[in-house]
Structure 1
Amino acid sequence: MGQARDRVNYSFKRLKEIPEELRPREKLLKLGPENLSDEELLAVILGSGSKGADVLSLSKELIKMGWEELEKKSVEELLKVRGLGLVKALQVKALVELSKRFKGGKSRISIRNPQEAFEFLKDKFDERRESLIALYLDLSNRLLDWEVVAIGNVNTVFSKPKDILFKAVKLSANGIIIAHNHPQGEPSPSNEDLNFTERLKKACELLGFELLDHLILSEGRYFSFREEGVL
């Protein structure tokens, strides 16, 4: 039998027990974020702990809960975590919400006017055929989601209001912007465009949604029903 060795301890260390150069901030600066554990990354965001718990112990406790559980918890419930005060509970909720918005690749951009809608939409259409796109916005005019609702031939695109409203209900959207392109010709509304917009507006009102605008795009230009006073 060899000489007895000191017991190796894999338990989680408190921040003050870690050499300064290996603490989360210093480690991030020297080695990059990919070399930090989840607890260390959260510790960098939280910045400091409290009298009851240092930042690494606090981060470990939060990570152990899991992201889905943190998403469900209210600020009041988070305050029950030992060492987590109001400011840090709000930081955690803000971080979880930000992560949720970026998840899936569709960041929550804001679309507050026809120009911003045009900038978002201008590269979403197939120039060879007419398509109808719907944007779904929340109360703060942030984009919840968007989809191609219908595809037609060179000159026409057909859809029914229910094709647009089904997803609005699913997303609990507040406002809807629709847009279609004119592959050939001016970005001005036809009688069919006007009639469809009126039908959709009435359907939106019945279900408590707001039809914010209808844009027609063609050759780098756009026509906004809202801007022109048609809607």
Structure 2
Amino acid sequence: MGQARDRVNYTYRSIREIPEELRPREKLLKLGAELLSDEELLAVILGSGTKGNDVLNLSKELLKMGWEELEKKDVSELLNVKGLGLVKALQIKALIELSKRINKRRKGVSIRNPREAVDFLKDKMNERKETLVALYLDLSNRLLDYEIVALGNANTVIAKPKDILFKAVKLSANGIIIAHNHPRGEAKPSNEDITFTERLIKACKILGFELLDHIILSEEEYFSFREEGII
């Protein structure tokens, strides 16, 4: 048996000690909301902390309670949490209710063909940068969730199959549709698009998923690998 060691905790840095470009608001502006942690997103929403408890630490303390517990509490109960005033308590309740409504609507979405996928995806793409989005479906082709997997530049976006399949495993999805846009070009696949699709098909088969389609969108048209018989 080795000698007992004193417990070592990782150092917590207050928000003032974090480089400015890595603070929640600046990080969201630079990298996009999808790359922020739950604590960072909540910190952006709350805006500020209290004396002796900065907003990032307040967010961490709240999330230790868990979203389910926060959802159960009414405003008066949230006011008992140290550091929460009425405005912040109302912000949390509004955030949770909005999230519930979004998830409820998403669960009602069925995607049965490329046209329905395109209709859903239209407002999910960045107009100036290639965006790779994955849709995760159950056995009845109901949408479980979607994710912006990668954001590139005007001409290219790079991702790996594992970037797409990680969430599919988490959701126990059955089918996957991937889509990306060509902001400045035609809705036609490049050799790289075809190669990536072939790799993803193989990875899906190994893990028991079905790649239902790969859709490429341009400003006025779309290309479906399924409709064209490539998948």
Rounded to whole Å, the distance in 1 between the matches of 2:103 and 2:120 is 19
Q: How does 1:31-110 map to 2 (within 5 A)?
A: 103=103, 106-110=106-110
Rounded to whole Å, the distance in 2 between the matches of 1:103 and 1:111 is 16
How big is the shift at 1:102? 6.5
What are the superposed Cα offsets for residues 191-225 of structure 1, whole Å, 9 maximum, x if unpaired? 00000000000000000000000000001210000
Q: Secondary structure at the match of 2:124?
A: coil
Does structure 2 retain, via aligned residues, the 8 Å contact 1:108–1:144? Answer: no
How big is the shift at 1:120? 0.5
Rounded to whole Å, the distance in 1 between the matches of 2:102 and 2:126 is 26
Rounded to whole Å, the distance in 2 between the matches of 1:150 and 1:103 is 22
Q: Give the AA of the match of 1:178.
A: I
Alignment partner, residue 158 of structure 1: 158
Does structure 1 retain, via aligned residues, the 8 Å contact 2:161–2:200? Answer: yes
Task: Return the TM-score normalized by structure 2.
Answer: 0.55
Alignment gaps of 5+ in structure 2 = 1-67, 69-99
Q: Give the AA of the match of 2:152.
A: G
What are the superposed Cα offsets for residues 70-123 of structure 1, whole Å, 9 maximum, x if unpaired? xxxxxxxxxxxxxxxxxxxxxxxxxxxxxx896465333100000000110011
Rounded to whole Å, the distance in 2 between the matches of 1:166 and 1:135 is 12
Task: Return the TM-score normalized by structure 1.
Answer: 0.55
1:126 equivalent to 2:104? Answer: no
Q: Secondary structure at the match of 2:125?
A: coil
Q: Give the AA of the match of 2:123.
A: D
Closer, same or farther in 2 for the Cα pair 1:183/1:226, shift >3 Å? same
How big is the shift at 1:134? 0.1
Q: Give the AA of the match of 2:145.
A: D
Alignment partner, residue 29 of structure 1: none
Which 4+ runs in 1 deviate beyond 2 A?
A: 100-108
Does structure 2 retain, via aligned residues, the 8 Å contact 1:128–1:183? Answer: yes
Q: Secondary structure at the match of 1:132?
A: strand
1:188 equivalent to 2:191? Answer: no
Q: Secondary structure at the match of 1:195?
A: helix
Alignment partner, residue 149 of structure 2: 149
Q: Secondary structure at the match of 1:119?
A: helix
Alignment partner, residue 13 of structure 2: none
Query: Once superposed, what is the RMSD of the aligned Cα atoms?
Result: 1.7
Q: Give the AA of the match of 1:158.
A: I
Q: Secondary structure at the match of 1:111?
A: coil
Rounded to whole Å, the distance in 1 between the matches of 2:117 and 2:104 is 21
Q: Secondary structure at the match of 1:106?
A: helix
Does structure 2 retain, via aligned residues, the 8 Å contact 1:101–1:107? Answer: no
Aligned length: 133
Closer, same or farther in 2 for the Cα pair 1:145/1:103, shift >3 Å? closer
Rounded to whole Å, the distance in 1 between the matches of 2:222 and 2:121 is 10
Does structure 1 retain, via aligned residues, the 8 Å contact 2:107–2:142? Answer: no
What are the superposed Cα offsets for residues 108-150 of structure 1, whole Å, 9 maximum, x if unpaired? 3100000000110011111100010000000000000001000
Alignment partner, residue 220 of structure 2: 220
1:137 equivalent to 2:137? Answer: yes
Rounded to whole Å, the distance in 1 between the matches of 2:159 and 2:228 is 23
Rounded to whole Å, the distance in 2 between the matches of 1:214 and 1:103 is 24
Q: Secondary structure at the match of 2:140?
A: coil
